[in-house]
Amino acid sequence: MPATDTVHISLPDNRHYEIRIGSGLLGEPASWQDLPKASAAVIVSNETVAPLYAQALRQRLLAVYARVDLVVLPDGEQHKGWDSLNRICDHLLGEALDRKTVLFALGGGVIGDMTGFAAAIYMRGVPFVQVPTTLLAQVDSSVGGKTAINHPLGKNMLGAFYQPERVIADLDTLDTLPERELRAGLAEVIKYGPIADAGFLCWIEDNLDALLARDKVALAYAVRRSCEIKADVVGQDEREQGLRAILNFGHTFGHAIEAGLGYGEWLHGEAVAGGMVLAADLSRRMGLMPDSFVDRLRALIARAGLPVQPPRLGAERYLQLMRVDKKAEAGAIRFVLIESLGKAGLHSVPDALIVETLTAHGAA
Amino acid sequence: MPATDTVHISLPDNRHYEIRIGSGLLGEPASWQDLPKASAAVIVSNETVAPLYAQALRQRLLAVYARVDLVVLPDGEQHKGWDSLNRICDHLLGEALDRKTVLFALGGGVIGDMTGFAAAIYMRGVPFVQVPTTLLAQVDSSVGGKTAINHPLGKNMLGAFYQPERVIADLDTLDTLPERELRAGLAEVIKYGPIADAGFLCWIEDNLDALLARDKVALAYAVRRSCEIKADVVGQDEREQGLRAILNFGHTFGHAIEAGLGYGEWLHGEAVAGGMVLAADLSRRMGLMPDSFVDRLRALIARAGLPVQPPRLGAERYLQLMRVDKKAEAGAIRFVLIESLGKAGLHSVPDALIVETLTAHGAA
């Protein structure tokens, strides 16, 4: 059993918080100590995760807070909208909970993003803690303070930069993760290699079987290294003025896939996987990377059981969906492209080249 | 005609912005220069204000932005909710406007609060400019970065601290302000006396007739002095950790009046006026202020044509509505009370004393 790892996130204005990674953290009293004082805590979870872990977490939190409520939302990306956000706010207001109340996001990326956004806006801000229970949330979405809900016209379009007090990534919660979601989480792990760490890409290639077999030592390292890379990027650029955008490798195409198919049809990680195949191809067409890189990345994504074939939405629909991407400027779509192994940058790409890539992959 | 005044707001992290106060600022090219570069601007206004000033503002902004859209919302506090917020977001997304887009809030406090909140959450934050056209917005709500919408269970319960790029307070726009709204704005002007500046309270008493007659020199001074006091307080405590709460003198009762009667029944300033009468009385009952202060403040409020008689909602209803106040903690209602003329502080008050005050004013 690996020991607990701690990754520190340092932000401007002397703000900072810890990501704790390890087995058994949910039941560990230390995980819940030294958080902001409050008379009440609210666990926000979903119908899938709540039955598994909410009561255990509630028991632990009752040692710290006089009152611990539970709000259970429907599960799935298609529920990451106004309605669910409102259910959290309605509960907080209906129970007259004050602005010291601490929210705990117990679940995957959807729960984390929505709970964080609710925390950001309730009475103009209450503290919150991320308790990610999916690989995707542990390696990516729970870290870095991006919160949001979806809009029918675009993914994560309404939200806030709002940092948690702490992230508690209990690796044991991955034991109950469905196979498909484990694989989806691996997409975000794989992402960190090409954009920031060529050595990590090799490590993933070498340890993919162990990761798929849920080997705890391998998972612990994958989560820690992913969080380290993310912490480093976010520490330099919290509000995505520049560098932080590289974390969105594969996401411009990916968000279009999610919105185009209807949220929840493909998991976020699956859409990012398909998006990385397209973005790698675009990097090659822009003359930045060789064919061999595209083949290598596609092979790894395929080995992880993730889609390498993006859906056929039609080129026009892809372009339309990507023009509302948050990185777009004055109608020009911008992509995170790989410039060399372990280094990425933001590039405007001519529509014609985007269409070429989509066509070559049967997506146009 | 008074010259343009500028009040500076200085915030942590080297952030700062200007409040410009004067006549004819809307048509003054300098008002709209040196704002963040963008390919598009969006004016958000309401059905009352848009016909008066939107086209003039749009013409000026077209000198700076290639594209200037206009979103017109229904007028009134009862429309300060999810639906109106969504209409702003739907427009931004529907037109695929990017995250450099600058929003301009043209109207009173409702428009300013909602546009600011939309700017805070659209793509996790776009720049915005306040163009307040009511006295209330010019002296209070456009300054300091509090943005919000109402919830059926409480006023301004969902929002963000999000600062504008600039505030342009054109005194000429007050010419078209209905009498009732002018008086409502005076409630917030009067507020600044007891909480921060005894001399300003005397000045208001001496110049109330000129203010009611819309004398530009008197209005210019009232707006400037109000903004100076607010800038000073907000500069010390942007996120209302402590001091900033004093700006909410009269607002705990006031918000209960607004929510209890139904938003829009009383104007915000009217509810604050009634709330100040109650809060002054509470200051006296807590032994902080003499009877003479209560009489003096009530007389001034009455002279301004504002209500000194709070509505009879019943004591229980008042208490219930005030327990969800943002200043409440662990169920205890806290009030901004006057400690000496020009000095205010936050005080927990026993329910019995609150009921006494409500009963004495026929509100229980």
Task: State the Cα–Cα distance between residues B6 and A218, nearest whole angstrom.
Answer: 60
pLDDT of residue A5: 94
CATH of range B179-360; options 2.102.10.10, 3.20.20.10, 1.20.1090.10, 1.20.1560.10: 1.20.1090.10
pLDDT for the residue A327:
84
Task: Report how far residue B111's alpha carbon sits from residue B57's, in angstroms, rounded to the nearest whole number.
Answer: 15
Segments of chain A scoring below 70 in pLDDT: 1-2
Mean pLDDT of B281-307: 98
Interface contact A329-B157, CB threshold 8 A: no
Between helix B268-285 and helix B291-303 the angle, nearest 10°, is: 170
Radius of gyration of chain A from Cα atoms? Answer: 20
By C-alpha distance, which of B94, B187, B195, B188 is closest to B143?
B188
pLDDT in tens, B229-240: 999 999 999 998
CA angle B245, B247, B250 (to 5 degrees): 100
The arithmetic mean of pLDDT across residues B87-115, rounded, is 97
d(CA B105, CA A74): 36
* Structure tokens that stand for A281 in this block: 């191809």
The question of whether B244 is a catalytic residue gets the answer yes
Tell whether A6 is within 8 A of chain B (Cβ).
no
Query: How many other β-carbons are positioned within 10 Å of the β-carbon of residue B284?
Result: 19
Query: Which candidate from B39, B122, B146 shows the least CB-CB separation from A124?
Result: B146
Active site residues of A: 124, 146, 188, 230, 240, 244, 248, 251, 255, 268
Instruction: State whether residue A98 sits within 8 Å of chain B by CB.
Output: yes
Residue A12 confidence (pLDDT): 85
Q: Is B2 helix (H, G, I), strand (E, B) or coil?
A: coil
Give me the phi and psi of B329, to 5 degrees please: -140, 125
CA A301 to chain centre: 17
A255 and chain B: CB distance < 8 Å anywhere? no
Mean pLDDT rounded to a whole number for chain B: 96
B154 touches chain A (CB under 8 A): yes
In the numeric block, the tokens 């009152």 are attached to: A67
**Taking CB atoms and an 8 Å cutoff, what residues of chain B touch A328?**
96, 98
CB atoms closer than 10 angstroms to residue B188:
28
Domain range list for chain A: 5-176, 179-360
Question: How distant, in Å, are the alpha carbons of A223, A267, A306 from that of A3?
Answer: 13, 31, 30
Closest Cβ–Cβ partner in B12, B124, B240 for A160? B124
Percentage of the residues of chain A whose pLDDT score is greater than 90: 93
- B287 — contact with chain A (CB < 8 Å)? no
Helix (H, G, I), strand (E, B) or coil at B45: strand
For residue B308, is pLDDT > 80? Answer: yes
Catalytic residue list contains B268: yes
The amino acid present at B90, given as its one-letter code, is: D
Q: Is the pLDDT of residue B2 over 80?
A: no
Residue A314: its H or E element: none
Integer Cα distance of A251 and A274 in angstroms: 9
Residue-level pLDDT at A14: 85
Q: What pLDDT is stored for residue B164 in this prediction?
A: 97
CA max distance for chain B: 60
- CA A253 – CA A218 distance, rounded (Å): 29
Separation CA A29–CA A25 (nearest Å):
8
Which one, of A264, A220, A236, A276, lies nearest residue A80 by Cα?
Answer: A264
| CATH of region B5-176, choose from 3.40.50.2300, 3.40.50.1970, 3.90.25.10, 3.30.310.10 | 3.40.50.1970
pLDDT of residue B327: 84
Task: Work out the angle at residue A52's Cα, subtended by the Cα atoms of residues A50 and A58, and round it to the nearest 5 degrees.
Answer: 60
Contact between chains at A330 and B98 (C-beta distance less than 8 A): yes
Taking only the tens place, the pLDDT of each residue in A88-140 is: 999 999 999 999 999 999 999 999 999 999 999 999 999 999 999 999 999 99
Assigned token pair, B137: 């917005």
> Going by C-beta distance under 8 Å and a sequence separation of 6 or more, which residues neighbour residue A301?
A187, A190, A273, A276, A277, A307, A308
| Cα–Cα distances in angstroms (integers) from residue B168 to residues B18, B29, B174, B223, in the given order | 8, 12, 13, 12
- Chain B, residues 313-332, CB within 8 A of chain A, namely 323-324, 326, 328-331
- Do B5-176 and B179-360 share a fold? no
Residue B214, C-beta contacts closer than 8 angstroms, at least 6 positions apart: B174, B175, B182
Contact B307, B265 (CB under 8 A): no
Contacts of A324 (CB under 8 A, 6+ apart): A153, A154, A157, B93, B96
What DSSP string runs through A144-193?
Answer: S-EEEEEETTEEEEEEEE---SEEEEEGGGGGGS-HHHHHHHHHHHHHHH
Question: What is the model's pLDDT at position B154?
Answer: 86
Percent of chain B predicted with pLDDT > 70: 99
Binding-site residues of B for NAD(+), please?
75-80, 109-113, 133-134, 146, 155, 173-176
Task: Tell me phi and psi for residue B167, to 5 degrees.
Answer: -125, 125
Distance between CA atoms of residues A189 and A222, nearest Å? 7
